[in-house]
Amino acid sequence: MPNLDAFKQQGDVIWSIANLLRGPYRPPQYRRVMIPLTVLRRLDCVLESTKDAVVAEHKRLKSAAKHDEATIEKMINRKFKLTFHNTSGFTFQSLLGDPDKLAANLSKYIAGFSSRARKIIEKFKFDEEIEKLDEANRLFEVVKEIAAVDLHPDRIPNIAMGYIFEDLVRRFNEQANEEAGDHFTPREVIKLIVNLLFTPDDFVYTKGKVIKIYDPACGTGGMLSESEKLIKDPETGLNPDAHLELFGQEYNPESYAICGSDLMIKGEDVKNIVFGDTLGTGKPKEGFHDGDGHPGERFHYMLANPPFGVEWKPEKDHVTGEHEKFGFKGRFGPGLPRINDGALLFLLHMISKMEPSPSDGGEGSRIGIVFNGSPLFTGDAGSGESNIRRWIIENDMLEAIVGLPDQLFYNTGISTYVWIVSNRKSKKRRGKIQLINAVDFAWKMTKSLGNKRKKIGDGTEKSPDHIAAITKLYDTFRHDIRATLAEIRTNIDTERDQQKPRSVSKIFNNQDFGFLKITVERPLRLNFAVTPERIARVRQTTAFAGIAISRKRKNKKAIESEELAGEEAQAAILEVLENMAHGRAASPKPPKSSASDDNGALGEHALPKLIKNRDTFAAQLDAAFDAAGIKLPGKLRDALLSPGTLGERDPDADACTDKKGNPEPDPELRDTENVPFPDNIALPLPLDYESKKNKGKVDTAPLLALVRDHCEVYLKKEVLPYRPDAWIDHDKIKVGYEIPFNRHFYEYEPPRPLEAIEADIKTLETEILDLLKEVSA
């Protein structure tokens, strides 16, 4: 690896030049000027040797008028073996020769770059800064100072320049830490992900191999740069002879410009870095790629720190349309997460870009992605999030999850997690998922940067090499590894017990994260009575009110007539109920064998005040209306026999039954239970994923054949001892997946003894009294 300290002087000089901006700019704004100027100065130095010849060739081809501008650019690049060029005729030195026209000439200089480079540079919106610097009388001084910095490739090789530029970007972004978290991932986090992704993988060591690396939310390109560094570094790289192709997509203009510039100043082609929204909105703009910027491409390695906790409402129509139209043939087959967090959509997008697995004759892929805690457990069984987890786990793609310390990022202090996803798992990892608890692998920073108060130790600034330790835990792949804080070496909260072992690695079967969500029903039990209070509730029902509502639309007389008839029917119904409330009502018709008067008229009998069997009450209700010669509408009859009108819930009443004699479930007593999978159940499960096309029509029979008995055993053991009348509605079974990371590593710590707490309180009371005496003395 080139010694960065040997070239650090140039970076420090650029950093110090920023002080000239004090006044017109605040320190968090310095990067708007210094980063694009550094890029321009490097490109100026790179093109120095071919500049005059390129300008002359461009004039010759233009005057010949045989080719369009795009063809001319290709011809010049091919002839001079360049990936970009500048035809303005200006250099940084010549710009300084005319101070009065510096602003206009600098804009012309930028406009003179070949199209691909120009599109990247223009995303800095540096023209706005040129005008501001000119008005503030700072432009000449800043350009003069930056022009004096020698960034020529003969002095600073491409890889060293990449390190310098990366360091400058990091320093300026940290200075603007209130904004940095939106597009800047701490370098030690990137290094950890890169190490987890590459170090244990045999594929990366293949000599002369073409390796494609992709970041769909590449920001300033830190993950791509670190990947390149780990693999290609001439001295320490895993495979310096490998041929890397870097791909990325970014929708933030400044971040895109920084990423593209980083590649340009290292002499690499920038054609594979795309400006646009990876998810897509369906509303394309000029110069902006809407959706997948690399259609048809597949990648060996993918890394990302996508925005999490961010709505994907702008992309909703486009993403939902793709999900419904293409299903698993598109990017979002398993399902969609809730609208307030689209992070999982990026993972689905990345999985869609995987090379075919070795079992399918391909080379396979590996993914490293940063999430917050939401993708681990948000979403109930059958939800989009749960189905995404299910699809990943049942297809044996989730390799490991590493829980990171909190307070690592600049704009948030929340806990984050690295997921390692692969379709080329090593033999020992197949069917397994490793959880690594690295929350204590943290080092307190001497100076906070926004919400970033900790870092993962990387062996610098007297910190331990936590990155190597976590990578070793991952590579070792052992269950129930424990370590003390003293062994971990952390300076966070040193008052904790340094010798108590803590679990840092656990290994689970894929099935351990799945569960069956069963619906447990209990019977509806009602008592019935006809009282003034309950009749008043009948009046409030929709079924009763609907009797007096006309179904006519235009004929006013017909409407009035129908409403009048309905009101009369309501009155008649209420009269029957009032008679029942006074204790007299017609008896139900006796069986044919029973005695009755010659004309079949019903007798009358006194009603009991409370009836605890619905069938008995229903018979009496029907008899009362039959005797009155009134037809009771079916909807109203159902309402009268339901809770909330003439019926009230009563745990001592008989269970209500349907026409087949089966108990009718009470929705208020309905409960759900999450039942772990049966041991050794094969994955993937024989259950389709619900979508708009098959909503409510997913066949659960094959799944039930495997799990029905298991669920009944669970009911008998866990539910029936407490609710003996309960049963399972197997038709409502759902499958869920969640990864309760914290629960797996939770270890109970008993509270301090009461005596010790009491002693502390007494000590504090004494100290307070002593202080009060001093104040009052």
* Digit-coded pLDDT (tens) for 321-339: 999 999 999 999 999 999 9
What is the per-residue pLDDT for 179? 46
Alpha carbons 627 and 85: distance in angstroms, whole number: 100
* Digit-coded pLDDT (tens) for 36-82: 999 999 999 999 999 999 999 999 999 998 899 999 999 999 999 99
Mean pLDDT of the chain: 90
Share of the chain above pLDDT 90, in %: 72
Give the relative orientation of helices 343-352 and 384-394 as an angle to the nearest 10 degrees.
30
What is the per-residue pLDDT for 419? 98
Residues 538-548, mean pLDDT to the nearest whole number = 93
For residue 303, pLDDT beyond 70: yes
Alpha carbons 616 and 182: distance in angstroms, whole number: 68
What is the per-residue pLDDT for 19? 93
* HSE value, Cβ hemisphere, 13 Å, CA-based, for 640: 24
Report pTM.
0.87
Cβ atoms 527, 611 nearer than 8 A: yes
Alpha carbons 311 and 319: distance in angstroms, whole number: 13
Give the gyration radius of the chain's Cα atoms.
37
- Cβ burial of 577 (10 Å; 0-12, 13-18, 19+) is buried
> CA of 569: how far to CAs of 559, 633, 638, 720, in Å?
15, 10, 17, 47
Alpha carbons 168 and 680: distance in angstroms, whole number: 53
What is the per-residue pLDDT for 413? 84
For residue 127, pLDDT beyond 50: yes
- Cβ burial of 60 (10 Å; 0-12, 13-18, 19+) is exposed
For residue 545, pLDDT beyond 60: yes
Alpha carbons 452 and 187: distance in angstroms, whole number: 12
- Residues in CB range of 501: below 8 A, 6 or more apart: 482, 483, 484
Cβ atoms 180, 411 nearer than 8 A: yes
Collapsing DSSP states into helix, strand and coil, what is residue 493? coil
What is the per-residue pLDDT for 617? 95
Task: Give the model's confidence band at 594: pLDDT under 50 very low, under 70 low, under 90 confident, else very high.
Answer: very low
For residue 551, pLDDT beyond 80: no
What is the per-residue pLDDT for 511? 97
7 or 459, higher pLDDT: 459
For residue 589, pLDDT beyond 60: no
394 or 599, higher pLDDT: 394
Residues 485-509, mean pLDDT to the nearest whole number = 94
What is the per-residue pLDDT for 584? 61
DSSP string, 252-314: SHHHHHHHHHHHHHTT---TTEEEEESS--S--BTTBEES-SSTT--BSEEEE----S---GG
Task: Give the model's confidence band at 90: pLDDT under 50 very low, under 70 low, under 90 confident, else very high.
Answer: very high
Lowest average pLDDT, out of 170-184, 511-525, 681-695, goes to 170-184
What is the per-residue pLDDT for 267? 78
Task: Give the model's confidence band at 478: pLDDT under 50 very low, under 70 low, under 90 confident, else very high.
Answer: very high
For residue 31, pLDDT beyond 80: yes
- Residues in CB range of 498: below 8 A, 6 or more apart: 484, 485, 486
Residue type, position 534, single letter: R
Task: Give the model's confidence band at 582: pLDDT under 50 very low, under 70 low, under 90 confident, else very high.
Answer: confident
Task: Give the model's confidence band at 583: pLDDT under 50 very low, under 70 low, under 90 confident, else very high.
Answer: confident
Alpha carbons 105 and 578: distance in angstroms, whole number: 97
Residues 24-38, mean pLDDT to the nearest whole number = 92
For residue 600, pLDDT beyond 50: no
Question: What are the structure tokens assigned to 523, written together?
Answer: 């019977």
Alpha carbons 409 and 502: distance in angstroms, whole number: 25
162 or 353, higher pLDDT: 353
Alpha carbons 215 and 221: distance in angstroms, whole number: 8
Residues 420-432, mean pLDDT to the nearest whole number = 97
- Continuous segment of H or E residues that includes residue 173: helix 158-175
What is the per-residue pLDDT for 601? 37
Lowest average pLDDT, out of 164-178, 239-253, 512-526, goes to 164-178
767 or 267, higher pLDDT: 767
Alpha carbons 540 and 87: distance in angstroms, whole number: 83
What is the per-residue pLDDT for 700? 96
Question: What are the structure tokens assigned to 391, written together?
Answer: 């699809």
What is the per-residue pLDDT for 100? 93
What is the per-residue pLDDT for 9? 78
Residues 375-390, mean pLDDT to the nearest whole number = 96
DSSP label of 453: E
What is the per-residue pLDDT for 4? 52
Share of the chain above pLDDT 70, in %: 95
DSSP string, 660-673: TSPBPB-GGG-EEE
